[in-house]
Structures are given as C-alpha cells and as structure tokens.
Amino acid sequence: MDYFEAVKNRYSCYAITGKSTVGDGRLKELLDDAVSCVPSSFNSHSSRLVLLLRGGHETLWDIVLEALRPMVPEEKFPNTEKKIGSFAAGYGTVLFYEDQEIVRGLQEQYPLYSENFPLWAEQGSAMLQYIVWTGLEAEGMGASLQHYNPLIDRATAAAFGIPEHWKLIAQMPFGIPAEEPERSLREENAEWVRVVEESGTV
C-alpha cells in the first residue's frame, strides 16, 4: 500500500477481530522499525513498546475492566463491559511507554532545556503512535488509540514486568476489522495550509 494511501485510510477502528493479516514476527519487525526510526529529542530514543498477544492481550483488558468497575455506576457498567470487550476481541495490543530515566538524564545534562524534555518525549511518543498506527493500516489491520493510564499503570507494570521508570502513555488494540470503520468527512480548508514565498506575503 502506498504511504499516503495508508495515511488517508487510517481511521479509528473499534470493531476488530482476534485475527491478524501477518505473522507475529512481522508485527515485531514493524514495531522494531517504527521505534528505531522515530525522531527523538537529542537522539535520545526514550520510547519503548510492549507487544501483547494472546494471554497478555487478554490480561491487559481484564486489568482495565477491573480498574473501571469501582468507578462506573452499576447501571452503566454493561456499556463499559461492551466497550472494553471490543478491544479485548482484537488480536493484540501495543503499549507505548517513555523511559523517564532517559528524560531525567537529559534534564540534568542540559538544564537550559530541562522543562522541555518531558514535552519533547510526549511529542516523540505521538509520532511513534502514528507510525505504528499507519503501519498497521498498511498491513490491512484496524486499530484505535486508548488512554486508560494512569489508572492501570501499577497493575499493568506488575502483570508484565515493566520497569518502574517507564511511563505508560497509550494503548493500541488492533486486529483485522470486523466491519468498515466509520469514516468522518475530511474536507479541505484553505486556512489549514499556507504557502509563503516571500516575507509578509501568503
């Protein structure tokens, strides 16, 4: 699939199946390529990925459901179960982390930019999330981006042996789409992109 075709076809896909278009080795390769190529401030490479498959994937969404149980009114919990169940029905989940030891090390090494490094790390993670999401789309799979952190941070770290200095940023469940995702209208707007050829003119 052409890169920009994948970019244009990438939408949030919530109805996913427990199947994959590619083998687990290819999924690992996709993540390796993404995390090694994503830009990072001062070439710090602070992003970390965890690929959850099969039992690991199911465990994550069990953790999310149990974390939400005491927070959601009883009469609304069936809808919550349905939503979390749609993610659990997928083939796997990618967890996105940022290594805070690296971030703190940069803050100490370059105090002039200290307050910027956490922001730059988040920006690097955002680029990585987009690369992975678009890569999954190019392989014929659907995905969505979820944020149940920090609610699930401790239980997730304990379940999967995550170092304490890794900060959970996002969760991306994926699988072959069970149905065509809802595609919102993408309109062009003359104000979105400006072309400047000389100072003071647009």
pLDDT one-digit tens code per residue, 68-111: 999 999 999 999 999 999 999 999 999 999 999 999 999 999 99
- Residue 22 confidence (pLDDT) above 90: yes
- Residue 185 confidence (pLDDT) above 70: no
SS3 category, 180: coil
Cα 44 from Cα 38, distance rounded (Å):
11
pLDDT confidence tier of residue 202, bands split at 50, 70 and 90: low
Instruction: Please report the pLDDT score of residue 165 as a whole number.
Output: 98
β-strand partners of 99: 166
pLDDT tens string 126-166: 999 999 999 999 999 999 999 999 999 999 999 999 999 99
- Residue 27 confidence (pLDDT) above 90: yes
Instruction: Please report the pLDDT score of residue 182 as a whole number.
Output: 74
The class level of CATH for 3-175 reads alpha beta
Phi/psi for 169 (5° steps) reads -110, -45
β-strand partners of 115: none
pLDDT confidence tier of residue 193, bands split at 50, 70 and 90: confident
CB count in 10 Å sphere of residue 73: 7
The structural domains of the chain, with segments of one domain joined by +, span 3-175
pTM passes above 0.95:
no
Tokens of 99: 């290594």
Output the average pLDDT for the chain.
Answer: 94
Instruction: Please report the pLDDT score of residue 3 as a whole number.
Output: 85
